[in-house]
Amino acid sequence: MESTWQVRPLGPEHDAALLAFLGDEAAGRGFCFCTAWWTASWDEFRSSTPAGNRAMRERLLARGERDGYLLVDGDAVVGWAQCGLRERLPKLGREYPLPPDPGAYAITCFEIAPSHRGRGAARFLLEGILADLRARGVPRVEGFPRPGRDLDPGQAWTGPEALFRGAGFREESRGARGPVLVIEPLEMAADGKPPLA
């Protein structure tokens, strides 16, 4: 962990920085704009374009869907995780047959800048997310990692399995895409700190 790192819930003031981070083609991004789970089907996503995905993310932001957290190093965004109520993503529910749960949060995507990979950045981001969700009283958080070790970033976009397990998630079920990992209940943080500002 670096002293300049901070985890911040996405707010309107971060919209431009998020779009710039997700659109950074030089860092291997610039296609998805974290819309994969928002599309109606995988066929629709496979036929999408970078411009179409960016437009979808802009529509999500415009309607107030600021569904995630940024990892910031100084003034630079160096990481992103999509996190919000699971039931806002119908495709996720179809891919992983889960009973309805209007209070469950899902962490569905991770992206760490190449400059910060291998330095504990994803763990720092996940810990910050869980601390904020605990403080907000969220009772259940789910992760949907791809199984296996040594996944390349293109395979690990839902987060490495070891990342979730290291944070205390346990396997609840397993589907064709991999495990559903859960941490519950999320009790109030022992230090009593308020949610992230």
CATH of the domain at 135: 3.40.630.30
**Is residue 156 assigned to a domain?**
yes
How many domains are there within the chain?
1
- The dihedral through the CA atoms of 92, 98, 99, 105 has a sign that is negative
pTM of the model: 0.88
**What is d(CA 57, CA 85) in angstroms, rounded to the nearest whole number?**
17
Which pLDDT belongs to residue 193? 45
**Is residue 114 assigned to a domain?**
yes
Q: Evaluate whether 71 touches 121 at the Cβ level (below 8 Å).
A: yes
Beta strands in the chain (DSSP E): 5-9, 68-73, 76-85, 104-112, 140-143, 170-175, 178-183
**Is residue 113 assigned to a domain?**
yes
Q: Evaluate whether 157 touches 110 at the Cβ level (below 8 Å).
A: yes
Tens-digit pLDDT string for the chain (197 aa)? 567 899 999 999 999 999 999 998 877 788 999 999 999 999 999 999 999 999 999 999 999 999 999 999 998 999 999 999 999 998 998 888 788 999 999 999 999 998 898 889 999 999 999 999 998 999 999 999 987 677 666 667 888 898 999 999 999 988 777 899 999 856 544 444 444 54
CA 136 to the chain's CA centroid: 17
Which pLDDT belongs to residue 151? 67
**Is residue 141 assigned to a domain?**
yes
Which pLDDT belongs to residue 156? 74
For residues 58-89, one letter each, b for 16 or more C-beta atoms within 10 angstroms of the residue's C-beta and e for the rest, the string is eebbeeeebbbbbbbbeeebbbbbbbbebbeb
Domain that holds residue 177: 5-183
**Is residue 100 assigned to a domain?**
yes
**Is residue 189 assigned to a domain?**
no
**Is residue 194 assigned to a domain?**
no
**Is residue 188 assigned to a domain?**
no
